[in-house]
Structure formats: C-alpha cells, structure tokens
Amino acid sequence: MDPILARFGLGDPEWLDPATVAVIALIGLVVAALFFKLVIPLVLRFTRWTPTDLDSRMVRSSRWPLTLGIVILGAYLAVTLPLDLTAGEQDKADTIASALGVTVGIFVVVGLLSSTIDWYLESLASRSMHVVDLRLFPLLRRVGGLVIYGIGALLVLDVLDINISPLIAGLGLGGLAVALAIQPTLANLFAGTYVMTEGVIATGDYIELENGVAGYVVEVGWRSTRIRTWGNNLVVVPNARFAETIITNYQQPVAAVNVYLTCGVSYDSDLDLVEEISREEMDYLVKNDHNAVASYGSWFAFNAFGESNVDFWLFLQARDRIASFNLQSALIKNLHRRFGEEGITINYPVRTLQFPDGWGPEQVAGQAPTATAARPRATTRRERPPREYRQQENEEGPDIGGVPPGGGEGPPGGPDGL
C-alpha cells in the first residue's frame, strides 16, 4: 500500500493507520446493517413459501447474534490488517476474537433450540394435546439452554488458555454431592418424566390408587401429582410413589363406564316376569335417559340361587362416571316400583328350618332335657321368675318343701329341730 500512497504524494503519514482502522470498522458496521435490514428480510420472504414456519423462526432467532458476529469480524479485521502487530499482540487478538466467536455461536445455538421447541409446542402439541409436549419440552428448553451455556463457558475459558481440568473435576465432585443431597427430588423428577411420557393419566381423569385414594387429577407436575377427592380435598402424591402404585383410570380407554347392578327376588316369584320387567325398564332408560349409551344396549341374566333370593344381574353403559351414578339410581328406583306393582318380593335374609316327620317347634319346645342335651349356658346373673309366678308367690306365699302355705311343720333344721 505504501507505493500506491507514495504515487498520490501521501507518503507514510501518521494518520494513515488509524484512518484505515476506522474505515474497515465502518465497513463492518455497514455490512452488519445491510445484513440486518436487507438480507434477513429477504430470506424471511423466501421462507414464506415453505410448508412450515420453522425456518422463519430459526432465521429470526439468529438475526441478532449473526449481526453481532459481523461487527466482531469487522473489528478484528480493522485491528489486524492495517496495524503491524507483534506476535504476542496477534495472539491476543486471535484469542479475544475466538472467545467472542464462541460466545456468538452459543447464542445462535440457544436461539435455534428455543425457536424449534416453541414451534413444536405451538404447531404439533396443539393437535396431540399430550402432557409430555406441554411439560417436558419447556423443561428441555431450560435445561438445554443451561447445558449449552455451561459448555460454552468452558470453551471460552479454554480458548483464553485457562486450565479447566480442575474446574471439570470440581464440577464432577460437586455434581455428585448435589445429586446425593437431592436424591428424593431427582427420583420424583425422573418419575414425573415417566408419568408424563407414559400417557396413562391426564388432567381431568378420574383415577383410583391402590391404597384407596380416588379423585380427579388436577395437575401432573414434575415433583408430584395432585388429586382432588370426592370430599373436595387435595391429595398430593409424590411421583416416585405414584409411578410404583397400581392405578385404575376410569377415563381410559374411553370415558364410558359400565353399570353393573345385582339384585334378587323371592323363590316364589315368576322368573319370566322378572326378566320381562327388568328388560323393559332397561330398554326404557336406554332410549329416554341421556346418561345411557344407546349403542351399547342392555344385558340381563340370572346369576345364582342365593340364600334368600334368586340372584340376577343387569348391565348398562353410561356416558361417564358421573352419569353412571344417575343411571344406576334411576334403574334401582324403576325396578323397585315395578316389582312392588307386580307383587314381586325382594326378600330380606331368610332361613327355613326343616324338621323330621312328627317333629315341630312345639314338640322341640316341650321336650324334657336329657343327659345328652346341652346344658344351659352358665351365667352369673340370677334369672327372675315369670311375672305370673311372682304375682302368685306374693299372694299365696312360697311353696317350700311341698308344705301348703300357712300349715304343716317347719322345714328340717328350723327352730323346732335345733
């Protein structure tokens, strides 16, 4: 460049190097502005023709970091090209530029990751409505960002010629100590990931746990699952225990719930009439009650000869669990009313005793006790005589030793016998 400047008569003035630095830096700023104002909008126009907006999101997220990278590149060229730097100064400039380049790359990667997850949550998760999409991916975005920033910080330190081996060893030991200290929390966290990804339960499902806790799922969090019981109380179950217990989900595989009702009628009943009445009442509910699933139909069958009744069962299907209660209540009321109108009896627990010929309750009650008969149960309470006997005793006096009252000799051992 010196011969060119000498041709114009400029020679080697002192202001030439600073001016060259300023010009190169200004060119870098202009290129960055053109990139930010013209190139990026032009690329965004082309991305409108693609099927998804993922590419446009990625371009927007990398807009500022790339612009900053152009400015840093211009500053690096402005310092290294026109100035005669020594080897040490050149190494320092390269180190600083490399550190700034790694920092820009970190911001670009984090922006791309965040925009990709946001695009997935807004476009695909709204179609599938999976809990894993709404819960897992935001956590992945946060954890992924922290991991990228941590790795980037280590790379920057390495570029700056700082020994990171002790730091890595310390982080390993510290991470192990922290993991041991928060082991229950980590267990609940991983169990929560399992619960969310498994897709067994969702918010609003009515479930019942193995220990008897039942209610509606309010929220499935990372640490615990919240259940609202019938008493309108909130039960918080740690995910580590929740993942190991047996769960009955009344909303899966469909919301419809089967209504299984058992009943019994007297042995004297006309079973054909019982079946006819039961089917009529079930058909009426299937056709007229909005709680019943008409397409499922109804089912009836006699089940067993019970101790007091001939048992049978009825089978219907309700829209959901709440509807099953209303449907079962209506079926019980209708059957009870119809059985009462037709004179069909639903017995209380009844036992019939059969005796041999010539034996009956009267003969059993009047039978004298024998040696093999069971003795009366011993008791410390003295039984009172019947009322009629006590009244006769008060009027006539006790009959002792067969002597009539008011006459005869006294009993042996009385005053006369002494």
Task: Note whether 276 and 314 are same-domain residues.
Answer: yes
Task: Note whether 36 and 123 are same-domain residues.
Answer: yes
For residues 193 and 188, what is the distance between their CA atoms, to the nearest angstrom?
Answer: 9
Which amino acid belongs to residue 362?
E
For 75-140, what is the HEC assignment? HHHHHHCCCCCCHHHHHHHHHHHHHHHHHHHHHHHHHHHHHHHHHHHHHCHHHHCCHHHHHHHHHH
Task: Note whether 161 and 276 are same-domain residues.
Answer: no
Tokens of 239: 């995910």
CATH number for 220: 2.30.30.60
312 falls within a domain: yes
Instruction: Please say which residue of 286, 314, 342 terminates a domain.
Output: 342
Whole-prediction pTM value?
Answer: 0.52
Residue 389: the pLDDT is 44
Residue 384 makes CB contacts below 8 A (sequence gap 6+) with: 390
Task: Note whether 222 and 83 are same-domain residues.
Answer: no
Residue 287: the pLDDT is 93
Task: Note whether 149 and 281 are same-domain residues.
Answer: no
Instruction: Please say which residue of 342, 373, 391 terminates a domain.
Output: 342
Cα of 200 vs its chain's centroid, Å: 8
Cα pseudo-dihedral 189, 193, 196, 197, rounded to 10: -170
354 falls within a domain: no
Helices (H) and strands (E) in the chain, counts: 15, 8
Cα of 241 vs its chain's centroid, Å: 12
- Within a 10 A sphere around the Cβ of 317, how many other Cβ atoms? 23
Q: Is the peptide bond before 65 cis (omega within 30 degrees of 0)?
A: no
Tokens of 1: 């460049």
Q: Exposed, middle or buried, 314 (CB in 10 Å: 0-12/13-18/19+)? A: buried
Instruction: Please say which residue of 284, 315, 342 terminates a domain.
Output: 342
Q: Provide the residue range defining the domain that includes 226.
A: 186-191+199-249
Residue 365: the pLDDT is 63
Q: Exposed, middle or buried, 226 (CB in 10 Å: 0-12/13-18/19+)? A: middle
Which residue's structure tokens are 């008493």?
231
Task: Note whether 239 and 276 are same-domain residues.
Answer: no
Residue 15 makes CB contacts below 8 A (sequence gap 6+) with: none
How many residues are recorded in the chain? 418
Task: Note whether 138 and 13 are same-domain residues.
Answer: yes
Average pLDDT per 10 consecutive residues for the chain, totaling 418 residues: 56 68 89 92 88 88 91 89 81 89 92 87 60 66 85 87 78 72 70 73 86 88 85 88 85 87 93 95 93 92 92 93 92 94 87 72 59 44 47 48 43 41
336 falls within a domain: yes
Task: Note whether 162 and 19 are same-domain residues.
Answer: yes
Q: Exposed, middle or buried, 339 (CB in 10 Å: 0-12/13-18/19+)? A: buried
